[in-house]
Amino acid sequence: MGSRFIQEVLSWLKAILIALVIVFVVREFIMTPSIVNGESMMPNLQHGDRIIISKVTSIERFDEVAFHAPDADENYVKRVIGLAGDTVRMEDDVLYINDKAYEEPYLDEFKQKLIGEQRLTNNFNSVVVPKGKLFVLGDNRRRSRDSREFGLISEEAVIGDVVFRIWPIDQFGIPK
C-alpha cells in the first residue's frame, strides 16, 4: 500500500511540475497578462483593465503595445503611430504619416466632446522614426505621457501587442 501511495504522489507531482513548466513557458515567451495603469489609453482601455499581451505577434501601425517605459520604472500601454522610416506630425488635429493624412477612429468618442476650436492633440513638428525605434501616442492625448514627451521608444523595449481584454467582463474581447 505504501508503494502505491508513493507512486500516486509522484504522479501528481509530475503533473503539477509539467503544468508549471507550461505556464512558465507561455508567460515568458508567448503571452502574459497585464493591468492597464492610468488614463492615457481612455476610452479604449481604462485604468484597471486586465489585458493579454502577445509576445509573438509582429507590431504594426495603430497596434496597442505594452513596453518598458523609458522615463519610469514601469510598463506603459500606448498606440504605435510611427514605424521605422516614417515621418510623423500632427497638424490641426490631423495625424500625418509620410505626408498622408490618417483618420483615427479610436479617437472619435473624445473628438465628439470637443467644443468649438478645441483640439484633442496639439500640433507637433515632423519626427523621423529611425530603424529600431517606434513613435507611440496614448489615445487620451491630453493626459498621456508618450513619444511627444519622452521621445521614441526602442523596439527592444516592447513587451508585446495587446490582443485581448479579459476584465472588466462586460468589455471582454479584442480592444479597438
Handedness of CA 39, 41, 43, 49 (dihedral sign): negative
The neighbouring-strand residues paired with 133 are 154
**φ and ψ at 169, to 5 degrees?**
-60, -30
pLDDT of residue 96: 95
pLDDT for 154: 95
Do the domain assignments include residue 125?
A: yes
pLDDT the model gives residue 53 = 94
The answer as to whether 80 is a domain residue is yes
Decide if pLDDT at 17 tops 60: yes
* CATH number assigned to the domain comprising residue 78: 2.10.109.10
List, for residues 140-163, the tens digit of each pLDDT value: 888 889 999 999 999 999 999 999
The domain total for the chain is 1
DSSP per-residue string spanning the chain: -HHHHHHHHHHHHHHHHHHHHHHHHIIIIIEEEEE--SSTTTTTS-TT-EEEEESSSPP-TT-EEEEE-SSSSSEEEEEEEE-TT-EEEEETTEEEETTEEE--GGGHHHHTT--TT--SS--EEEEE--TTEEEEE-SSGGG--SHHHH--EEGGGEEEEEEEEEESGGG-B---
Q: Which three cell numbers stand for residue 137?
A: 501616442
pLDDT tens for 49-61 read 999 999 888 899 9
Structure-model confidence comparison of residues 40 and 29, the more confident one: 40
Say what the pTM is. Answer: 0.82
pLDDT in tens, 112-124: 777 677 777 888 8
Answer yes or no: are the C-beta atoms of 156 and 132 closer than 8 Å. yes
Q: Which residue has the higher pLDDT, 79 or 6?
A: 79
Task: Look at residue 2 and tell me if it is in a domain.
Answer: no
pLDDT tier at 134 (50, 70, 90 boundaries)?
A: very high
- Tell me the pLDDT band of 1, cut-offs 50, 70 and 90: low
Q: Is 3 among the domain residues?
A: no
Does 90 fall in a domain? yes
The 10 Å Cβ neighbour count of residue 121 is: 20
Position 162 in a domain:
yes
> Per the domain annotation, does 21 fall within a domain?
no
Known catalytic residues?
40, 78
Domain range for 63 = 33-171
- Give the dihedral sign, CA 146/142/138/167: positive
Cell (9 digits) for 90 = 500632427
Quote the CA–CA distance of 23 and 31 in Å, as a whole number: 10
